[in-house]
Amino acid sequence: MIIGTPILIGFYFTISQFGEYWWFIFGLFIFLFSLLLGRLAPLLIFPLFYKFEPLDNESLKIQISDLCLNNNISIKGIYSFNFSKNTKKANAAFTGLGKAKRIIISDTLLDNFTEDEILSVFAHEPGHYKKKHILKLIALSFVLTFSGLYAVSVLYQYFVSISGYVNIQQISALPVLALLLSGYGLLTLPISNILSRRYEREADKFSLSVIKKADIYISVLEKLSKQNLSYKTPNKIVEFLFHSHPSIEKRIQNAAKYTYN
């Protein structure tokens, strides 16, 4: 509701006020809203659902800070959060954009993994920033958003013209627009996922180059697979269409190969 409501309001406003140019205005709104959300979510939204506290493990904090410093990544702090109140899954991530980046580590990761294991999990994340994956994905999102909205607007306009509706703002025609938008999303999802899986492989390689302990990384992947209840070898078609990460089995195989480099 927090995110969906302003999007729905923005959508209805643009299509009612800007007519055939709704796609461009709404595209700008979505793109800017996403950037704003990425910057504000760690500060305003995440704390509504979880309790964040500064990481109290000084040894781990120093190792993570050094890793960021050595890769020219500025951060505002390192925090733990009570992920265990909702799930047993473990995670560590950057949140935010620019100088608002924070590192968050779930209590489920801190409580069940060693420092070396946690560092190997986290070392994957700076790889995304070092390789500029975030900027590249933002650029892809920009292209897909505007091209998709334009294509959908053309199809929707054609549908309205042949179906006897008064105009594109007519409420009874909007479900068709929603269907077209959903269809476009499904068509482009595999494109985004192909690129995302490639970036995940690159981030894995970065992590291995930093920790230089492939055996620990493989062990972590095995433990994460069990704790997060992930399928190690999902159906290939399902993985291709819907998975943003390579399968655990493929990541383990790639890490094992890295041992011999």
Asked if the model's pLDDT at residue 97 lies above 80, the reply is no
Percent of the chain's residues with pLDDT above 90? 51
3-state DSSP call for residue 31?
Answer: helix
Q: What is residue 98's predicted lDDT score, i.e. its pLDDT?
A: 67
Q: What are phi and psi of 74, to 5 degrees?
A: -90, 140
Asked if the model's pLDDT at residue 182 lies above 70, the reply is yes
| Closest by CA position to 87, among listed 43, 50, 140 | 50
Q: What is residue 79's predicted lDDT score, i.e. its pLDDT?
A: 94
Total domains in the fold of the chain: 1
Of 231 and 204, the one with more pLDDT: 204
Asked if the model's pLDDT at residue 38 lies above 80, the reply is no
Asked if the model's pLDDT at residue 229 lies above 80, the reply is no
Torsion sign across C-alpha atoms 102, 81, 136, 220: positive
Q: What is the mean pLDDT of the chain?
A: 88
17: left (phi over 0), alpha (psi -120 to 50) or beta: alpha
Confidence label for 260 from pLDDT (cuts 50, 70 and 90)? very low
pTM given for the model: 0.86
* Domain interval for residue 118: 4-258
Q: What is residue 146's predicted lDDT score, i.e. its pLDDT?
A: 94
Question: Among 22-26, 186-190, 200-204, 209-213, which is the least confidently predicted range?
Answer: 209-213
Torsion sign across C-alpha atoms 97, 101, 103, 104: negative
Mean per-residue pLDDT, 209-233: 87
Mean per-residue pLDDT, 87-103: 81
Asked if the model's pLDDT at residue 89 lies above 80, the reply is yes
CA distance 45 to 47: 6
Asked if 124 contacts 254 with a C-beta cutoff of 8 angstroms, the reply is: no
Q: What is residue 100's predicted lDDT score, i.e. its pLDDT?
A: 64
**What are 124-144's pLDDT values in tens digits?**
989 998 899 988 999 999 999
One-letter-per-residue 3-state SS of 133-151: HHHHHHHHHHHHHHHHHHH
